[in-house]
Structure 1
Amino acid sequence: MFDTDAVHAGEPDPPIERAVTLPIFQTATYTNEPQDGAVRYVRYNNSPNHEALHEKLAALTHTEDALVTASGMAAISSALLTLLDAGDHLVVPRSLYGGTLTLLGDLLPQFDIEHSFLPDDGPATWAGVVRPETEVLYAESITNPLLSIPDLEAMVAFAEAHDLVAVIDNTFASPVNLRPAKLGFDVVVHSATKYLGGHSDLAGGVVAGPSDLLDGARKTVKLLGGSLDPHACFLLHRSLKTLGVRVRKQNRTAHTIAEALVQHDAVDQVHYPGLSSHPDHDRACALFDECGAMVSFELSPASTPDDFFEALSLPLRAPSLGGVETLITQPRYTSHKDVPSALREKLGITERFVRLSVGLEGPDDLVEDLTTALDHSLDA
């Protein structure tokens, strides 16, 4: 059903001018009749390209409605600014994407919106950070870059008990591996730049959820101008059709790589939920179809990070993730560069912490290349 929806959901029926592929409506504005009361305009995210995407994404995320934005951060910021007013408060886990942490710490306080971190010692202690003005619980389905799996079911129950809107960033899992709306999350956000786009050639975001909440998000996006260009819509629409095929192969290769890394002397620890040694392995198996295509690992003190990176041939040293090519990075210098150093250290994001986004190359080729580079890091 997922792959069928990826190909067919949201497609115009009948096809426009009999075109099998939805054409690009590369126009900023449309004619209208005053009596219609409807204005079609590119900033309003309501071109034929946008509308087809919204329907397809709603089907894939198992939500009532969906909205595309110009980037993942546009999706996150628009969702939170829609749900929160001046004086409001939200609660979040400590381990989040660096851009989200910066949004919470630097920008939202300018709107008199505060946040608190959920204690790390479990749901029984979470109530201690809830205030009368708390409105939102925000989380990630697989945390960036530590690849932990929060107790998502407990989060949904907690949000319901405290009358909070539960928002989740599902970028790392993708809808192939997890549909958080089925767990009870109210709003799901994605960076479409990653797996949904899948080819490292577009920037986009998604907000998905009930139509009444999405109406507010549409207004926010319209006012802030975070709309997706029609050509980027076309690229994303194209990419979604192969999402399941791509991600399932990447999942399998990531598992193979994680098992190989565990065996290497240059690696101290491997973070991959698919490994039985991962502390959240049982939870991942219970909630996820598969455990994702991201692998993080910590180089041992005996290895030299610079020599490891210089010896690599296949993985490209670059930020971002989810593309057809394997990307590798040190989050200390990329996704979490602007996170306060004390919090980075607390999270364990040091220069020896490496994040790998597994692509579509042959598993054996990737394992051989990574193993050779790790060997070189020990010999240097």
Structure 2
Amino acid sequence: MRFDTLAVHGGERVPGPEGSVVFPIFQGTVFTSEPGESYHDIKYHRLNSTPSQTYLHDKLAALEGAQAAVATSSGMAAVTTILHTLLGKGDHLLVGDVLYGGTHDFVTGHAERLGWEYTVIDPHDPSSWAVRDNTKAVLVETITNPMMRVGRLREVVAFAREHGLVSVVDNTFASPVNFRPVVAGFDLVFNSATKYLNGHSDVVAGAVAGSAELVEKVRHTQNLYGGSLDPHAGYLLARSLKTLGVRVRQQNANALALATFLAESPKIAGVNHPGLATHPDHEHARELLSGFGGMLSFRLAGGVAAAEEFMAALTLPAVAPSLGGVETLITRPAVTSHAGMSPEDRVAVGITDDLIRLSVGIEDVEDLLGDFAQALDKM
């Protein structure tokens, strides 16, 4: 099945319980057990094994082209559970040099306390990748936040296989509409499902997908840490997955139109979007991705004061963190998503105080362009 058909029908129970077309919420916490059931197979919310949860897991796996998937209580629960599964005391991790702020803070702030070692690598430069005897995994992002860089992901997969590492990728900014990491060879993919997978700014969730063996190990770790997803949130997420392709393709088109418009303005100092021919990763991103995503970042000539003035002049975007929803959101990463990084670390990866990040929604593109034009006219 093609993606939009898969989004509607993948993982569905036909017929559903009591003949239902829409899979219901199983709120109950008590289920009968079967003789010989292992601990992790008992039906219980924390064990991620109730009917509502396994239904969602099957749907997520279908969209990712993976053998299995498991939902988590947040995107951070997804990545931290993966790392706790793959790494033990004395193990070494290779990690991309630009990460979501929460992931960056977790690795840099807790690895040493947990007995892990890590090396920061440039995902664009294979010559910077080196393994040790204790290296277990490599973690990168598909499209980085907030500079929209796209690393040499095929090379990362090949490198991991050559050296026996588990390859892990955060696909939140791309979503499986624009890139399916497991199909491309990654061992594990995770998403902050709060963002594009849900897409309606009303659920906090995460998702992990990959081989049945690895996902089962991740689930067992999660079962002990307790980062399971509530059945009501899972119901909303499964509902939203059915429109994922329709939403993301509109966001792709709107973001590229806005990036092109901003790049042509003399009042804009620079635009970061992989769909622009001027972007440093445009050529290989075009080969790798099915779409360039709904995210972009830019800087105005005039610094922080100009950035704040411009954001205040817009009428459609909400000034708010997070991303991936049907509504357009605008924020300064230095004071929101990446506020936990030191100013020096932020500047080193291009996250200046005046950088603006835009999550483009599904509004009519002409309305968005008109709003950005009137705001620029006031500058």
TM-score by length of 2: 0.96
2: CA distance, partners of 1:31 / 1:350? 56
User: 8 Å contact 1:266–1:375 — kept in the other structure?
Assistant: no
Q: 1:256 to 1:121 in 2, by over 3 A?
A: closer
User: 8 Å contact 1:298–1:354 — kept in the other structure?
Assistant: yes
SS in 2 for 1:76: helix
Paired residue for 1:228? Answer: 229
SS in 2 for 1:270: strand
Counterpart among 124, 128, 135 of residue 125 in structure 1: 128
Counterpart among 73, 79, 82 of residue 79 in structure 1: 82
1: CA distance, partners of 2:334 / 2:196? 22
Paired residue for 1:357? Answer: 359
2: CA distance, partners of 1:7 / 1:120? 34
How far does residue 252 in structure 1 lie from its aligned partner after superposition?
0.5
Q: How does 1:1-380 map to 2 (within 5 A)?
A: 1-34=2-35, 38-119=41-122, 122-127=125-130, 130-301=131-302, 304-376=306-378, 378=379
Measured against aligned partners, the alpha-carbon deviations of 1:105-151 in whole angstroms (never above 9, x if no partner) come to 11232211121111477112322xx2211111100000011000001
2: CA distance, partners of 1:57 / 1:14? 19
1: CA distance, partners of 2:115 / 2:211? 26
How far does residue 288 in structure 1 lie from its aligned partner after superposition?
0.6
Aligned identity (percent) is 49
1: CA distance, partners of 2:358 / 2:189? 24
Paired letter, 1:60: L
How far does residue 51 in structure 1 lie from its aligned partner after superposition?
0.9
2: CA distance, partners of 1:225 / 1:140? 25
SS in 1 for 2:369: helix
Paired letter, 1:43: R
Would you say how many aligned residue pairs link Structure 1 and Structure 2? 375
**Alpha carbon RMSD of aligned pairs, Å?**
1.4
SS in 1 for 2:265: coil
SS in 2 for 1:268: strand
SS in 1 for 2:76: helix
Structure 2 unpaired stretches of 5+: none
SS in 1 for 2:357: strand
Name segments (4+ residues, structure 1) moved above 4 Å: 33-38
Say which is worse superposed, 10-19 or 141-150, in terms of deviation: 10-19
Paired letter, 2:107: L
SS in 2 for 1:105: helix
User: 8 Å contact 1:177–1:290 — kept in the other structure?
Assistant: yes
